Each structure stands twice: as structure tokens, then as C-alpha cells.
Structure 1
Amino acid sequence: MQLESDLAEIVEGTTRLLVPKGALVEKVPPMEPAFFNPRAKINRDFSIIAYAAFLKTFKGPKVFLDSLAGIGARSVRVANELNSVEKVFINDVNPKALEIAENIAKLNNVTNCVFSENEACRFLSLHSKRDQRGAIVDIDPFGSPSKYIDCGIRAAFHGGLLSVTATDLTVLHGLFPAACKRKYYGVPVRVEYGDEIALRLILGCINIVAGRLDVKIVPLFVQNNMHYYKAYVKVLVKTSDKDEMGYILHCKNCGNRHVTSEVKYECEVCNLKAELAGPLWIGNLYNKDFVNEMIIEEKQFQVDKSCKKILERCIDETDMPPTYFTIDELAHMKHSAPISLAKTIEKIQGAGFRASATSLNPAAFKTDARVDEVLSII
């Protein structure tokens, strides 16, 4: 049995957690006796809000499948804080982590948890039969989630939610393009808006796997925080009638960025050769109705105060074009001091273009104006 002296009690939301003491004091959370990252709290906060919003309209059995649960911080919070959830399956390959998870469940007096010690794909495969699937399937690995996506889709009900985390930033940000192509089927470009390219590569990977299985995905919400990227997609057992895969062309000479469905390298502003990121998802990152439901649900939970502000920014940028500009990036191009974000957006809107802040970077904005038009305006 896990020694109490090895663990400390903390609270997330309204859930009491028992976590390895080393995770609270060491810069890099230790792997023994089990991994827990306290800095991922906001990631788990958003999960609770997103799951609550999703379950309001889901018609089937409200079952949550956590394939890589660790000590069960996310899954026990789901069992404890979401009253509509009927059953929570908590799976991990580490028996020490599962022992802690069971103690956390007892500490919170939750009785609707089922624990299993299994490899993630094996666990998800056991839940791939029609009557054993999950309303929500979560995949939260170390590094890339790509090897679990196939199994995760199969374990989700028609109309169910698949939530996928990626933490391999060096791959998604372009330090290892060959590895990115192998894992996500596309390559990034190293740019200021690398967070968005990373999320679009993750969604593109999920979409490609779904297409192979004759399944359609609908992105509902994405979120990034430090070294975490998380995508929430609805899984529909039907084929897609719209191709939302493409490329982002980026010119490092003039800063132009352009979304295209075709492979091309010529910059439309300066006519020099540009770089190409993709193939990746070029459709919407957010579903406006879903994010509105998240804003409503956020009031019901004890979550980080930044969640509401981020969700409101998501609403503003829902229909904006892909990619964003940072105010520091523009200042560097102009060789001048940066203008405030609010003033920049005001100027661009005043010139007749659309512009909004973005949830992906607190010092950035999205617009339908080209880089030369933006620079001229500011």
C-alpha cells in the first residue's frame, strides 16, 4: 500500500487529491511512485467544463473512459464533480498510480469508478463493442497521442466526445520535422503562431485516422497551456462531405501567411519562395454553440479564473481565418515599439477588416487583413 508519508493532499475544483510530494516541489515532476503535474490543473479545469457542456445534450449512456489515467486526477474529478456521469473507467498500466487513484476515489466518497490495469490500446479495444463504448474518451499520454487515436475513436459512441492531449512540443514546433510527419502526417513551420499550427496538426492527424475508419470528426474546442495541447472533437459515424485539410503557406521574408488547399510555395505579397506547413486541419478550431455552453457551465465549477476570459476570446475568434499575429512580431517588422493589442485591433477594424484577440496567445490577434495591409494600417 502506498505510504501516506509519500503523498500530500491538495484540492482541485471540489475534489481532494492525493499526490506525490515530489510533484509539488520539484521542477520536473518525478515518475515515481507515479507521475502527476500540478501545473496541468487548468488543463483539467477546462476538461471538467467541456465535459459538462457536452453531457448536457448527449443522449446515450454517460460513461467516461480514461485510458491513461495516472493517479486519476482528471477521472476522479469527473466522477466527483459531474453528477450526470453514470460510470467512470480509470485505466493505467502503472499499479502504483492505480492504487493512489483508488485511495483518491475513497477519499471523495465516489462509488461509480471502475479501475483497470491495462495498456491503453488494449483497454480501449475492450470498450470498442457497441454497448461498452464511452460517451467521453480521454487520451492523455506522455508525448504524442497518435498511436492511441485509432483505438480512441473505436471506443467512442456515435456522437461521443474524444479528448486528446499532446505534449511533444519539440516535434510539433518543427525541431524534428521527420518525426512530426511520421506521427501527425504533416510538418510544421517554425513561426510565431506555432501553437496554432501544432493544434491544427493534431486535429489533422485525428481527421486522417477518422477518415480511414469512415468516421467524421467535428472540432468543438481546443486549448493550450505551457507544454499542453488538448483538442476536443465529436465523433460521428458517417463520412465527411467537406475536405477541411490543407496547408499554411508562410513567407519568412515579408511575414505573409496564407491558407491553401493546394501545394504551392510562391508568396502572393513579395513573390519569393515561402515555406509550407501541413497537411493540417484548416477548418474551425471552435464550435460557437459549444463554447457558449462552456461559458454557461463555467459558473457552476470551481476552476481557474482565467478560464472564462479564454472562453470569451474563443467566441470572438470562432469564424476568424487561421493563423495570428503577435504585437511583438509586428513591432519587429516595423522596427518600432509595439502598439497595445487593443489599439491594434481597433485600428484594423477601423480600416474595414475583421480582427479579434485570440485565446491561443494573450499578446496576439487574428484578422482577415494581409500582412502588408496590417503593417500599413498600424
Structure 2
Amino acid sequence: MSNQEPENVSEPEPQKISEGLAEVQTTGKVFYNPVQEFNRDLSISVISTYTRQLLKDQLCTQPGVKCEAGISILEALSATGLRSIRYAKEIPGINKIIANDISARAVQDINSNIKLNNVEDLIEASQNDATMLMYQHKKDSFDVIDLDPYGCPSIFLDSAVQSIKNGGLLLVTATDMAILAGNTPETCYVKYGAVSLRMKCCHEMALRILLQCIESHANRYGRYIEPLLSVSADFYVRVFVKVFHGAQKCKHTISKLSHVYHCTGCDSFALQPLGVTKPHEKNDKLVKFCLPTGPPVSSKCEHCGGSYHIGGPIWSAPIHHPTFVKEVLTSASPGLGTYKRIQGVLSVISEELVDVPLYYTLERLAGTIKVETPSMMAVRSAILNAGFRVSYTHANKTSIKTDAPARVVWDIMRCWEKLHPASKKRIEGNKVASTVLQQAPQREYLFDIHPEANPESKQKGLVRFQANPMPFWGPGSRSQAMVGQDKMTRSVKNQGKRKRPADDSDCNDRVENKLCN
């Protein structure tokens, strides 16, 4: 099929887009996704908080006004320029923004929109390859770099970590969730340097894979990251990290990464750190780096007898900075279009256990042993009554994030099954369920409602877990505006166009992948 457009196709009418304080026009060939308004609103809130902390007493409090002592921002993949224009008009303390795109048509739109919004003194349009532009700014580096590509961001990370200031803020989005969520672990390794797993906690796994990928690129140049906020939303993950210089500190990375052992039967998991730190025998101010012993599990799962898959490495250190999250939550503008969602999501994040990687899901625990699903309050209460901690995660509305060992979690489910016996017919022939239930709990766990079982975010009735923001929603198509388009119509039109495998070997690959999954 030819890539050339028919000569008689007329230019599309410019379309107007209003979001926040910005108003832009696009020809329809430049990518714009209205679903990502939450992404942009959250980014404005995070950068505003970061800028206030950085400038402190500097008198740069008026958004839309150039601040000589202010920050520099690079939006490496700008498309319409909407995000950069919103940054210029809604974030105080900005000295300069570069809105870059490799497309000449996009840059034409960016220039027009800069003039339309009267922000010529704050924004400079650039037509360049994003990676080359960042390499060119290794010396005159940026305070903030925003990478929001279509798909995988890894090709931009090497240049990004080199062109950001010490303590600068790096914002990174990844939309290739199928890869990060374990559908193609071999592709995930190629793109991110980690093996993804098909787990119920795949959304947090995706965040942690992305963070370890950024850290890996940073370490090559004697730099390391500190995650401030990590968000799984809609069809993408988005992380906000500070990048620091310090070759000595990079040595601590080995203790921040872990491999994941995932049981293919009951979905239990265990983490194996790549390294550990211990106090130095002769100097209290130093630490000693050691290799851990392992593995943390035997060849067969102790709970169900299943086999393990091994994934990672993932970032196993905290993915949020609690103090920073609370400051963003406090200072976020109620005038933002998605303010209620920001308030709800950040409230759940502020309640998350920061030192507990990954989570279980309630329906998976109950489904494994074929038992009536308990209420979330009952399970959370049982964990709290046993003396362990528990929280939700913003990534899943039925999540159970806890420091209780897997044995305790399954004992709680066994105690629940005693109170609500599973059907013998459903258990017969199910090896996993029967093996789990054959084991007696080591103690009795109580499901009496604990006073801390109901989190504050739920008590306040906040919008914690967002429904799909629009019909047929998703990441959209590369370099194509979603405004005014009927996605369902396009889907029907394109049905049956997918090509069949070219040869038998392709078919065999597909069958093999299906069997592995």
C-alpha cells in the first residue's frame, strides 16, 4: 500500500482546543489526546510544587510572567504545544520553555499557538530530533525535562539524564502497557532491560520496571534518581523523579533493585534483592555492600505446589516521596479540570505503604480457592488484627498491599473459607485450590472490623479510582488528532485488514507464546 496521500485531498479545517488557560489550534494531523488532561493537570501541579521548593524566597509568584531567576523546561515531544503553553500560563517561576517536535507541521502549529496565547517571551519552538536536542544541551542543562512519547520512552532516556541539572525534575510517560504488563516479556527486556510478568499487580510492576530503566541509564553517567511520584492511570504510567549527580551514591542502586519470583499457581510472589547494605564495622558513617543469599523460595510454591516464573529486575525501593506527595495534594489548584481526580488519586497514594513493593488483589485471592469473595473491610481488618500493616494502592481498586508474609495472607483466606466453605464440586479437580486448603492455618485470624480498616480517602468519598473518561478510550494513534474522530467507526472500517501469518514459522511462534502464557 502506498504511503502517499491522494492529490485531491483537501487540507483539514483547523480545530480549536481549549484546556486550562490555553487555547490552541491543530490541523488534525498533529497528535492530541483529550484523555490525558489528567496527565497534564497533574504535571502542572508537580512542577509548580517543585519550582516553589527550588526557588524558595525568589519573587517569581506570577504565572505567565518571565522570571529571570526561574527554571528552564524542555518539552521534548510537543505536538500541538498545548502542554508547554499551559506550563507557561499556569506555572509560576518560569524563565524559558523549549517546545520541541521533529515534525515541521507540528512546529508550525506550535509557533501559531504561541502567538495565539501571547507567550512568545516564555516559549521557544524547536524543530529537532529530541535526543539530539538534549545531547546539545549537556552543558546548559534544563531544570525540568518532560518526556511524553507515544509508546516506549527508553530511546530518550540516555540523552535526558545527561541534559538535566543536578537535582532536576524528569517526567516520563510510557504507554506500551501490554509490554510492561507481561504480554511479551522478551520485548520488555529489549526495551526496558527487565522481564515483565503477567501478575495481578502488573500496573505497579510497570511503574517499577520503568523506574529501574531510568536508574540504569542514569547510573552510566554517575547519576541516580529519587522518585517523587509514580502514577498508573488509564492506559499509561507516569513517573516524576529527581536526577542527582554522584558516582558514590550510585553504588546504592544494587540495594534498590530486586528480581521477582511469581508463583504461576496461586499468584504469590517474593522478592530477591540484587544487593544489600550493612553498617560498616569500623566507620558508622559508611555502609558495606554485600551480595544476598537466596533464592527466597524453594523450587515449588509452599502454598500451592506451583512453579515460579522469575522477572525483573524491578525498582523495589519506594516509588513515592510522601512529603512531596502531600505538598502537591495541598497546593493543587481547585481550578484544574481534573482536580477531583488529582485529589482522590494523591490521597490514596499518600496512604500507600511506601516500603512494600507489589500487592495482591481480593478477587484473585478468593478465586484461587474458589470461595465467596470477602469484603475488603473484612480482609483488611484481619490483617490489622494480626498486627500487620495494610493499604490500598492507587493502581487497583481491589488491591491489598501489606507487609504480612504470603503465609499469613493465605492463612487468613483459609480461615475465611472455614466460615464460608467452598463448594466441594468446585474444589475437586482443582489442584491449586485443594493444595492451598489442605493446609491448616497456623492460627485463627479474626475478621472483626478494625477501626483503621476504612481509609480516610474512602471515608471522605473522594474519586479514588476513575472510570473510563470517554467511550472507546485509549492511547489513540501516533501523529493523529483524536478530536472529533469516531474511534468506533475507524475500528469497524479496519476489521479484517490484519494480515495472516506469512508462513508456518510465524504461526508456530504465536502458538508457542500462547502456551507459555
Indicate conservation of the 8 Å contact 2:257/2:314, yes or no: yes
Question: For 1:14 and 1:93, how far apart are their aligned partners in 2?
Answer: 26
| CA deviations over 1:271-300 (Å, ceiling 9, x no partner) | 653111101211001011110111122135
Matched, 1:357 2:399: no
State the 1:9 CA deviation. 2.6
Alignment of 1:45 with 2:22, yes or no, is no
Partner residue of 1:293? 327
Measured at CA, do residues 332 and 86 of structure 1 come closer, stay the same or move farther in structure 2, by a change above 3 Å? same
Distance in 2 separating the partners of 1:286 and 1:37: 26
Decide which of 320, 332, 344 is 2:379's aligned counterpart: 344
* Cα deviations by residue, 1:288-343 (Å, 9 ceiling, x for unpaired): 11101111221354141111111111111142411112222122123234333344
Residues 291-300 or 201-210, more deviating: 291-300
In the other structure, the counterpart of 1:9 is 16
Structure 2: how far apart are the matches of 1:364 and 1:106? 47
- Which residue number corresponds to residue 238 of structure 2? 230
Of stretches 132-141 and 337-346 in structure 1, the one that deviates more from structure 2 is 337-346
CA–CA distance in structure 2, aligned partners of residues 289 and 122 of structure 1: 35
Q: Which amino acid aligns with 1:219?
A: P
Establish whether residue 151 from structure 1 lines up as the match of residue 159 from structure 2: yes
Q: Secondary structure at the match of 2:344?
A: helix
For the residues of structure 1 that align with 2:114 and 2:167, how far apart are their CA atoms? 28
Task: Structure 2 unaligned segments of length 5 or more: list them.
Answer: 1-9, 56-68, 275-293, 417-517
Which structure 1 residue ranges, 5 or more long, are not aligned? 21-31
Q: Which amino acid aligns with 1:124?
A: M
State the Cα deviation string for residues 205-247 of structure 1 (Å, max 9, x = none).
1111111111011111111222211111101111324231111
Question: What is the Cα deviation at residue 89 of structure 1?
Answer: 0.5
2:176 corresponds to which of 168, 175, 182: 168
Asked whether 1:114 is paired with 2:114, we answer: no
Structure 2 CA distance for partners of 1:301 and 1:4, relative to 1, 3 Å: farther
Letter of the structure 1 residue corresponding to residue 31 of structure 2? F
Selected match of 1:128 from 92, 113, 138 = 138
Aligned to 2:267: 255
Which of the residues 26, 29, 35 maps onto 1:33? 29
Match of residue 482 from structure 2? none
Q: What pairs up with 1:238-249 in 2 under 5 angstroms? A: 238-239=246-247, 240=249, 241-242=251-252, 243-249=255-261
AA matched with 2:16: E
Q: Give 3-state SS (helix, strand or coil) of 1:56's partner.
A: helix
- State the Cα distance separating 1:135 from its structure 2 match: 0.8
How far off is 1:75 after superposition?
A: 1.5
Task: Give the residue type in structure 1 aligned to 2:133.
Answer: F
Question: CA separation in 2, counterparts of 1:320 and 1:53?
Answer: 24
- Give the corresponding residue for 1:27: none
CA contact (8 A) 2:390 2:402 kept: yes
Partner of 2:302: 269
> Partners in 2 of 1:224 and 1:370 — Cα distance?
25
3-state DSSP of counterpart to 2:73: strand
Counterpart residue number, 1:75: 84
Give, in whole Å, the separation in 1 of the partners of 2:166 and 2:337.
Answer: 29
The question of whether the paired residues in 2 share the 8 Å contact of 1:320 and 1:366 is answered with no
Conserved? CA contact 1:334–1:375, under 8 Å:
no
Aligned structure 1 segments of 4 or more residues deviating by more than 4 angstroms: none
CA–CA separation in structure 1 for the residues paired with 2:348 and 2:309: 29
Q: TM-score, normalised by structure 1?
A: 0.90
Q: Which amino acid aligns with 1:297?
A: S
Helix, strand or coil: the match of 2:166?
Answer: strand
Aligned residue among 37, 49, 56 for 2:52: 56
Q: Is the 8 A contact 2:264 2:306 kept in 1?
A: no
Structure 1 pair 321–86 and aligned structure 2 pair: CA distance change class (3 A)? same
| Residue type of the alignment partner of 1:315 | S
Measured on the aligned residues, the alpha-carbon RMSD in Å equals 2.1
Q: 1:105 to 1:318 in 2, by over 3 A?
A: farther
Q: Distance in 2 between matches of 1:99 and 1:337?
A: 59
1-side partners of 2:70 and 2:378: how far apart? 49
CA distance in 2 between counterparts of 1:48 and 1:41 reads 11
Q: How many residues align?
A: 363
Aligned counterparts of 1:344 and 1:303: Cα–Cα separation in 2? 35
Alpha-carbon distance in 2 for matches of 1:362, 1:193? 11
Q: Which residue type is aligned with residue 51 of structure 1?
A: I
SS at match of 2:94: coil
Cα deviation, residue 357, structure 1: 1.1
- Aligned residues of 2:199 and 2:267 also touching (Cα < 8 A): no
Q: Is this contact kept in 2: 1:324–1:366, CA < 8 A?
A: yes
SS in 2 for 1:254: coil
Q: Is 1:212 matched with 2:220?
A: yes
Match of residue 209 from structure 2: 201
Larger radius of gyration between Structure 1 and Structure 2: 2
Question: Are 2:51 and 1:18 equivalent residues in the alignment?
Answer: no
Q: CA deviation at 1:185?
A: 0.9
TM-score (norm 2): 0.66
- Check the 8 A contact 1:164/1:230 in 2, yes or no: yes
